[in-house]
C-alpha cells in the first residue's frame, strides 16, 4: 500500500515515512484511548451496577480530563517528541493495567471497596484522560514543526482528526463484538497498552536523531513493554486470584458471555451462581426461592397445561413446574445461551435442576423476553413465571415496566396467573412496592407475598392475573418448604415491610432502577 493510498499526502506530493508513521499513530492512540474509556465503563457497570449511570459518569469524567490534557499541552514548548514518547508510555502503562488494577482492588477492598473503589476508578480515568488529551495536540505540533512546508492548518487538522475518528470507530465496533468476548477486560486493556508502547518505540526509532536522552528513553520503552507483556501472560492468573479472593469458595466455572460474567463456586456449604458478582442462588436454600416462585401461581390454577418461563435459564423453576402431571409444554425464553449451555451440560448443575432442560416437555428459546413476547401474539399460557435478575440497570429495568407487564397480560389465559420475583421488601421496600404499583397500573390484580430465603433474607414476589388469587387447596408432593397451611402467612407484611406509596415504573421514566440503586446502595456503604 502506497503512502498516497493512505490519504496522507499533502498538496499533491508523496508523504514521507515519518508522516505516515505519525498519522498512523493517531489512529492507534485514538483506538487505545477509547478502549480504556469503554473498559472502565464496562468494569464499573459490572461491579457497581446501573450501567447507564456508570458509563455516563465515566465518559463525562474522561472527556473532561481529555479537555484538561489538551489545555495543558499549550504550556509545552520544547522536546515535543520526547514528551509524546513519555505520554505514550504513561498512558500505555496506566490505561493498559487499569482494568486489572480495578478488578484486583474490588477483590481486595472490604465489601468491594465502596467509596475507596470509586475514588480509585475516577482517579485512574482522570489520569488516562489527561494523558490521552495531550496526545493529539502533540502529534499536530510535531507534524507542523517537521513538515510545515506541506501542511496548511486546515489540512493538518483534517488529516489528524480523520485518523482520530477512524481509530475510535474501529474500536467502537470491535470492543463489544470481538475484544470483550474473546479477550476479556483485563487482556483487552493490556493489549492496547502494548499498542501505546509500540507507538512510543516507533517514535523512538523515527526521531532517534533528535532525542537527547535516547538511551534513557529506550530503557523506559523496554521496561514498559516488559511489564505489559508480563501482565498479558499473567492475566488469567490475576483474574483467577481476584475472583478466588472475592468469592471465597472454589470456583468451578468462570466465563464471560456476551451479556455478563458468569461464576459458579462450590464449597462445603454448597454451590453458588453469581452473575456480574451478584448471587443468583445457593444450592443450600434455592428450593425455598423456587418453590415460593412457582407453586403459588401454578397450584392456584389447578391443572396448568402450558407454562411460559421468562429468564430462569438455570432450569430450577422448570424443575418445579415439571412436578405438575398436567403440564404438557414448558417454553423457556432465556437471553444468554451460555447460561443455557452451562445448566444443560455441566454434570453438577444438571443434578441441581434435575435435568429439567433435557425434558421432552421443555422448549428452549434463546431470545430477549421483551422482544419475544411482542413477536408471539396469540400464543397463550396457563401460567407465566418471570425470573429475571434484579433491575440494576435500564436494560433489566425495562423488564419491570408497565409496557412489559402489558405484553405478559396478552399471553396470559383468562384463568391463569403470572408471577415475578421482586427483590427484598425489607431492604428495598420502595422498589418492591413500585413493582406492585406497576402491575396494578396495567389493570391486573396484584397479590404481593414474601418468603425467607437465608442466602437473601426476606424476598418478595408478586402474583398477577385477571381474577383475584386464592390460596390453593393442594400442592405437589415432596415440597421441602411450602405447605398449604403455611401459604396464607406469606401474604402478611409486618410494619417494616408494609406498603408504601410508589409510582409505576414506565419505559419513559425507569424510576425503579434509580430507587433500586439507592436502596441497595445503602447496604454496601
Q: Is the pLDDT of residue 14 over 80?
A: no
Could you tell me the pLDDT band of residue 214, with boundaries at 50, 70 and 90?
confident
**Cα gap 253→250, rounded to integer Å:** 9
| Strand, coil or helix: 7 | coil
CA 496 vs CA 60, 329, 424, 511, 520: distances in Å: 39, 40, 12, 22, 16
Stated pTM of the model: 0.73
> Of 28, 30, 35, nearest to 187 (Cα)?
35
Classify the C-alpha dihedral 291-322-403-411 as positive or negative.
negative
Classify the C-alpha dihedral 236-172-10-80 as positive or negative.
negative
Q: Is the pLDDT of residue 64 over 80?
A: yes
Is the Cβ–Cβ distance between 194 and 72 less than 8 Å? no
Residue 2, all three cell numbers: 502506497
Give the pLDDT score at 23: 72
Give the pLDDT score at 10: 42
Q: Is the pLDDT of residue 17 over 80?
A: no
What's the whole-number mean pLDDT along residues 360-389?
93
Indicate the range of 96-105, 296-305, 333-342, 501-510 predicted with least confidence: 96-105
Which one from 387, 390, 409, 496 is the annotated catalytic residue?
A: 387
Could you tell me the pLDDT band of residue 166, with boundaries at 50, 70 and 90?
confident
Could you tell me the pLDDT band of residue 13, with boundaries at 50, 70 and 90?
very low
What's the whole-number mean pLDDT along residues 429-456?
96
> Of 266, 262, 290, 41, nearest to 172 (Cα)?
41
For residue range 328-369, what is the model confidence (pLDDT) as tens digits?
Answer: 999 999 999 999 999 999 999 999 999 999 999 999 999 999
319 against 102, higher pLDDT: 319
182 against 21, higher pLDDT: 182
387: annotated active-site residue: yes
Indicate the range of 4-18, 256-270, 407-421, 489-503 predicted with least confidence: 4-18
> If you write DSSP's letter for every residue of 430-493 in order, what string do you get?
HHHHHHHHHHHHTT-EEEEEEEEETTTEEEEEEEEESS-----S---TT-SS--TTTGGGGG--
What is the residue-averaged pLDDT of the chain? 86
What's the whole-number mean pLDDT along residues 440-460?
95
Question: How many degrees, rounded to 5, is the angle at CA 447 between CA 442 and CA 448?
Answer: 110
DSSP symbol at 271:
E
Percent of the chain topping pLDDT 70:
91
**Cα gap 225→520, rounded to integer Å:** 42
CB atoms within 10 A of CB 237: 9
> Of 359, 412, 423, nearest to 387 (Cα)?
423
Q: Is the pLDDT of residue 411 over 80?
A: yes
Give the pLDDT score at 297: 96
For residue range 276-328, what is the model confidence (pLDDT) as tens digits?
Answer: 778 889 999 999 999 999 999 999 998 999 999 999 999 999 999 999 999 99
Could you tell me the pLDDT band of residue 16, with boundaries at 50, 70 and 90?
low
Could you tell me the pLDDT band of residue 182, with boundaries at 50, 70 and 90?
confident
What's the whole-number mean pLDDT along residues 2-7?
35
| Strand, coil or helix: 460 | strand
176 against 119, higher pLDDT: 119
Which helix (H) or strand (E) element contains residue 258?
none
Q: Is the pLDDT of residue 9 over 70?
A: no
Laid out side by side, the sheet with 329-334 consists of 362-366, 329-334, 306-311, 381-387, 412-421, 457-465, 445-453
Amino acid at each position: 500500500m502506497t503512502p498516497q493510498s493512505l490519504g496522507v499526502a499533502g498538496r499533491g506530493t508523496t508523504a514521507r515515512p515519518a508522516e505516515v508513521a505519525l498519522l498512523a499513530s493517531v489512529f492507534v492512540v485514538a483506538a487505545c484511548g477509547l478502549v480504556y474509556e469503554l473498559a472502565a465503563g464496562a468494569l464499573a457497570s459490572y461491579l457497581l451496577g446501573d450501567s447507564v449511570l456508570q458509563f455516563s459518569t465515566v465518559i463525562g469524567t474522561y472527556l473532561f480530563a481529555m479537555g484538561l490534557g489538551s489545555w495543558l499541552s499549550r504550556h509545552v514548548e520544547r522536546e515535543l517528541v520526547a514528551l509524546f514518547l513519555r505520554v505514550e508510555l504513561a498512558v500505555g502503562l496506566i490505561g493498559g493495567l487499569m482494568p486489572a488494577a480495578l478488578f484486583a482492588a474490588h477483590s481486595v477492598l472490604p465489601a468491594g471497596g465502596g467509596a475507596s473503589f470509586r475514588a480509585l476508578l475516577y482517579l485512574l480515568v482522570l489520569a488516562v484522560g489527561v494523558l490521552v488529551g495531550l496526545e493529539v495536540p502533540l502529534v499536530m505540533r510535531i507534524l507542523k514543526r517537521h513538515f510545515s512546508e506541506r501542511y496548511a492548518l486546515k489540512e493538518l487538522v483534517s488529516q489528524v482528526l480523520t485518523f482520530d475518528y477512524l481509530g475510535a470507530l474501529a474500536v467502537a465496533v470491535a470492543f463489544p463484538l470481538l475484544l470483550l468476548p474473546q479477550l476479556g477486560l483485563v487482556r483487552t486493556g493490556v493489549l492496547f497498552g502494548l499498542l501505546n508502547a509500540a507507538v512510543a518505540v516507533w517514535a523512538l526509532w523515527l526521531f532517534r536523531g533528535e532525542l537527547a536522552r535516547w538511551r534513557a528513553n529506550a530503557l523506559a520503552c523496554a521496561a514498559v513493554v516488559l511489564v505489559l507483556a508480563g501482565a498479558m501472560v499473567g492475566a488469567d492468573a490475576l483474574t483467577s486470584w481476584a475472583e478466588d479472593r472475592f468469592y471465597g469458595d472454589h470456583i468451578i466455572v468462570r466465563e464471560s458471555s456476551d451479556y455478563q460474567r458468569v461464576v459458579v463456586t462450590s464449597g462445603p456449604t454448597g454451590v453458588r451462581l453469581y452473575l456480574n458478582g451478584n448471587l443468583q442462588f445457593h444450592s443450600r436454600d434455592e428450593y425455598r426461592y423456587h418453590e415460593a416462585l412457582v407453586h403459588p401461581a401454578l397450584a392456584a390454577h389447578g391443572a396448568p397445561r402450558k407454562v411460559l418461563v421468562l429468564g430462569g435459564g438455570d432450569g430450577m423453576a422448570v424443575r418445579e413446574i415439571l412436578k405438575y402431571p398436567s403440564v404438557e409444554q414448558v417454553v423457556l425464553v432465556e437471553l444468554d445461551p451460555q447460561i443455557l449451555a452451562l445448566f444443560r451440560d455441566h454434570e453438577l448443575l444438571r443434578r441441581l435442576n434435575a435435568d429439567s432442560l433435557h425434558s421432552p416437555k421443555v422448549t428452549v428459546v434463546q431470545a430477549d423476553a421483551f422482544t419475544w413476547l411482542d413477536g408471539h401474539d396469540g400464543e397463550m399460557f396457563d401460567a407465566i413465571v418471570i425470573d429475571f435478575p434484579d433491575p440494576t440497570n435500564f436494560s433489566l429495568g425495562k423488564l419491570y415496566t408497565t409496557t412489559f407487564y402489558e405484553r405478559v397480560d396478552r399471553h396470559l389465559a383468562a384463568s391463569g396467573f403470572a408471577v415475578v420475583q421482586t427483590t427484598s421488601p425489607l431492604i428495598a421496600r420502595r422498589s418492591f412496592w413500585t413493582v406492585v404499583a406497576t402491575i396494578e397500573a396495567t389493570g391486573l390484580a396484584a397479590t404481593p407475598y414474601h418468603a425467607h430465603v437465608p442466602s437473601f433474607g426476606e424476598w418478595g414476589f408478586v402474583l398477577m392475573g385477571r381474577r383475584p388469587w386464592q390460596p390453593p387447596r393442594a400442592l405437589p408432593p415432596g415440597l421441602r418448604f411450602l405447605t398449604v397451611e403455611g401459604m396464607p402467612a406469606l401474604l402478611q407484611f409486618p410494619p417494616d415491610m408494609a406498603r408504601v406509596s410508589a409510582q409505576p415504573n414506565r419505559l419513559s421514566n425507569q424510576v425503579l432502577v434509580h430507587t433500586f440503586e439507592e436502596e441497595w446502595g445503602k447496604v454496601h456503604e
